[in-house]
Amino acid sequence: METTLQAPVDKQWTIATGLALFTVLYNIGEGIVSLYFGTHDEALTLAGFGVDSFIEVVSGLGILAMIARLRRFGSKNRGNFERLALRITGGCFYVLVAGLILGAAFSIWENQKPETTMAGIVVSVLSIAIMRVLAWWKIRTGEQLHSAPIIADAKCTMVCVYMSVVLLASSVLYEWLHLPYIDGAGMLGLAWFAFKEGQESLEKANGVETCCGHC
């Protein structure tokens, strides 16, 4: 009977592992592409989006490490480990916020204009399509496993969707109007979402034992 009950849980952990692994691999590719075209075309919003992709990689690696640990040692000290994963994710977002604000200030001060934002349009449309499905699947899996870090990681992915919308809007507006400061404004938009997500991750870290204590 115990084996029968355990099988669905093991399946959900396997799904969570696959989702985290896909997150890592996809965001490595997205980050490299975004940083390359962002720096090449001087599109700082796209470059900032690329940095966010690597934060997604950190979050995904944290989830993979958490799953491996749980499968090896069970739920012993699970709350402490999940709290650490949440704090790492939140801290990474705060670092991103600082970088985006400095980048936006530089862009506005120097009246910097991208050569083109077409790469941003392509990257953002692809990200919106893929990340929405990925975030939904992560939330569903995290709720079934009662795992706050997996749910937080899902919301991190959902923030990537919001950031993709900001990137798409700023890229389309600049490609259409070629007005100054649009790229800087896009970076400030990314900074806002990054700050909110970092704040939520750290708040959840303070209450993770309550969320997961029954698991």
pLDDT at residue 19 above 60? Answer: yes
Whether residue 116 contacts residue 40, with contact meaning beta carbons closer than 8 Å, is answered with: no
Task: Give Rg (Cα) of the chain.
Answer: 18
- The single-letter code of the amino acid at 162 is Y
214 lies in a domain?
no
Q: What is the predicted pLDDT for the residue at 52? A: 81
Q: What is the pLDDT of residues 152-185, one digit of tens each?
A: 778 778 878 888 998 898 888 888 887 778 878 8
pTM: 0.77
At residue 41, the 3 state secondary structure works out as: coil
35 lies in a domain?
yes
24 lies in a domain?
yes
Of 147, 138, 161, 137, the closest CA to residue 204 belongs to 147
- The single-letter code of the amino acid at 210 is T
Secondary structure letter of residue 74 according to DSSP: T
215 lies in a domain?
no
**Which domain covers residue 137, as residue numbers?**
2-208
Q: How confident is the model at residue 32 (pLDDT cuts 50, 70, 90)?
A: very high
Q: What is the pLDDT of residues 104-156, one digit of tens each?
A: 887 778 777 777 788 989 999 999 999 999 999 999 998 888 877 788 778 77
Of 174, 164, 156, the closest CA to residue 123 belongs to 164
Q: What is the predicted pLDDT for the residue at 136? A: 93
Q: What is the predicted pLDDT for the residue at 98? A: 85
202 lies in a domain?
yes
CA distance 149 to 153: 6
CATH number at residue 167: 1.20.1510
Number of domains present in the structure of the chain: 1
